[in-house]
Amino acid sequence: MENSYEETIDKRRVHLRPDTLRDPAPASLHLLPCEVPVNRPTPVGRFFTPAIRMGRDGLEASFRGRSLRGEEVVVPPGFVGYVVTEEKAEVLMGKQDDHERGAGTAGPEALERDCDRFMGATASFSSFTVWGLESIPGPDAKLRGALSWPSLAAAIHAQVPED
């Protein structure tokens, strides 16, 4: 009884492989001010990066004919940036599927419970370039607020002193 319970919990978990955090290759990241509705390889190094110039107020580039202004943003102190992707579930999948059907997990959440999934860091970064349309995202930009979140979160979640 105890065991089957533990097993069910395990099936809902997604693991992040710690060994992948150790030494992933550095990545170059750009946050664009537009939605590109696909996820796929694209020749960034051929079309985008070579066009980046140092302008009077920050970096200049263009994308799809629109002019972009950007600057380098450093990740908050004490943090490391990672690009994390899900690892392919390979051959095990088929077996697990059968097992699952036998166990009778049903309902809308069944898919998530199928089996443990694994994610790993494929790259790391300590800064990235943030781009705005025609002007650099200002100090009021949502991203700036978000980047100050870790220091605020540290205060909210630090243990309070005893009386």
Partner 1 sequence: MARGADGGDGARVWQHVFLLPEYLKDDSKKMKSGLVFVKLANPCSGEGTIYLFNMCLPQLFEIKVFKEKNHSWFINESVQSGGLLHFATPVDPLFLLLHYLIKADKEGKFQPLDQVVMDDMFPDCILLLKLPELEKLLQHVTEEKEVDKKKYYKYSKEKTLKWLEKKVNQTMAALKTNKVNVSARVQSTAFFSGGQVSSDKDEDYVRYAHGLISDYIPKQLSDDLSKYLKLPEPPASVRNPPSKVAAQRQKRDK
Specify the residue, 56 or 88, whose C-beta has the smaller distance to partner 1: 88
Query: Which stretch in 51-59, 64-72, 81-89, 98-106 sits in contact with partner 1 by CB under 8 A?
Result: 81-89
Contact between 106 and partner 1 (CB under 8 A)?
no
108 near partner 1 (CB under 8 A): no
Nearer to partner 1, 56 or 142 (CB): 142
Cβ atoms of residues 145 and 76 within 8 Å: no
Range 19-58, binding partner 1 (CB under 8 A): 19, 21-22, 25, 27-45, 48
Strands 53-55 and 58-63: antiparallel
Asked if 2 interacts with partner 1 (CB under 8 A), we say no
Structure tokens at 82: 């990672």
Residue 157 binding partner 1, by CB under 8 A? yes
Please give the torsion angle defined by the CA atoms of residues 95, 97, 101 and 104, in that order, rounded to the nearest 10 degrees.
110
- The Cα–Cα gap between 83 and 16 comes to 12
Helical (H) or strand (E) element with 62: strand 58-63
| Residue 140 touches partner 1, criterion: CB under 8 A | yes
Question: Min. distance of Cβ 133 from partner 1 in angstroms?
Answer: 9
What is d(CA 45, CA 13) in angstroms, rounded to the nearest whole number?
37
Q: Is 156 in the site for partner 1 (CB under 8 A)?
A: yes
135/15 Cα distance (integer angstroms): 40
145 touches partner 1 by CB under 8 A: yes
Of 51, 92, 93, 152, which one interacts with partner 1 (CB under 8 A)?
152
